[in-house]
Structure 1
């Protein structure tokens, strides 16, 4: 079975549509959505409808910190541009959208896989996996050989040997990676809706469970149209520029 692993959609309809079409062409049979469906982008209601439709079809869906901030604004320390886009986002969502997000879990286990938005060792506090040390903490905190997290907006893959030796590397687009059973693995697929590695193309990953084979993908989309939508919505111009620059 192939899993399509999508994270950090961030209300970017154009990116989500492009990635979803690409994932279907890859023959993916299960969808994993790693949170942060709203904020930053101009189409939060459309993206939430997409997420809810995938959930109804059986997708594994976890909550992100921006999703959580829709209801718990006082518990999140975010910058001024985020507060502005969050305030606008709240006006776009229906009570059904908010109730759905509120009920989402922080982590999901499916077979040999563990899914979370930020990390596994302390998922409720949204700490970033900035490097090997934090990734190793999450690998030690899990019992599954395959861990998938979002939150970082840049694709990366970490691994941990049976002797406790860890490593990391940055993947090449479209190149399958065999995940050895002698190691445990933590995948960050990157962001669908707001990549931050200098490449504006959307990020996601495909995991072939039967082969233990992981492939990271970059999907070009009309990021200029998405940026125009951000400006037309009256959101901060810096959010539009990020889509153009991939920064």
Structure 2
């Protein structure tokens, strides 16, 4: 089974459409979106219409759209973007995101998925301590996450469960799974990478070949940049796309 996993599109339809062209060329059996289809950029409805054809999780930006007080935790640019997004989402899409789950499982592929973490839906897994706490909460070999906008692989040895290693992924990269290891895979961001590489990122998991492929892809950043400016969004959000930060 070949599965595509995408996260953190954030209303960047130009990036999502570019990613989906690659996904379609790979003849995947299943597609999952791990949350944050909305926020930051001006095409949340278009992104959600694509997500609705597949399976999607609740991200913190969807949560902020239906629980406005939560957005107080965001910086001012993100707060303004959430207000814009909430005001521009269709009634159907507001209803759709309000019903999204925090976790998903694919029983056939034997994987678990969350937006941020299992310990807390919107927690960032950025330390070995947090990674270990999350390894304790799933039995599958792999947990796929997003949220940090930085692609990464956390690896736990079954023989030494406290021996957890982090591998950050900045470019396209494929690796084979090892039977004596468990993994937390951060699939990166389609619409707003923050690892210094402006190219979008997503993952394809092949459960038969037992490998995971990180795909970095180019998209017309200038299109999203101009659309966001025209919508009155913060220039910082627009400019950061070119730097991948």
Q: Cα–Cα, structure 1 residues 191 and 172, in superposed 2: closer, same or farther, change >3 Å?
A: closer
Distance (Å, rounded) in 1 between the aligned partners of 2:152 and 2:102: 21
Task: Verify: 1:130 aligned to 2:126, yes or no.
Answer: yes
TM-score, normalised by the number of residues in structure 1 = 0.94
* Structure 1 residue 75 displacement after superposition: 2.8
1:228 aligned partner: 226
* Structure 1 residue 172 displacement after superposition: 5.9
What is the alpha-carbon root mean square deviation over aligned residues? 1.2
Distance (Å, rounded) in 1 between the aligned partners of 2:177 and 2:4: 16
The CA deviation string for residues 86-140 of structure 1, in whole angstroms up to 9 with x for no partner, is 11111211111011101011001112100000101222xx111113221221111
Q: Which of residues 84, 87, 97 in structure 2 aligns to 1:88?
A: 84
1:184 aligned partner: 182
Are the equivalent residues in 2 in contact too, given 1:173–1:215 (CA < 8 A)? no
Which runs of 5 or more residues in structure 2 are unaligned?
A: none
Are the equivalent residues in 1 in contact too, given 2:37–2:47 (CA < 8 A)? yes
* Structure 1 residue 242 displacement after superposition: 1.2
Distance (Å, rounded) in 1 between the aligned partners of 2:15 and 2:70: 29
Distance (Å, rounded) in 2 between the aligned partners of 1:173 and 1:28: 21
How many residues are matched? Answer: 240
**1:164-179, aligned counterparts within 5 Å?**
164=161, 165-171=163-169, 173-179=171-177
Are the equivalent residues in 1 in contact too, given 2:18–2:219 (CA < 8 A)? yes
Which runs of 5 or more residues in structure 1 are unaligned?
A: none
Are the equivalent residues in 1 in contact too, given 2:151–2:186 (CA < 8 A)? yes
Runs of 4+ with deviation above 4 angstroms? none
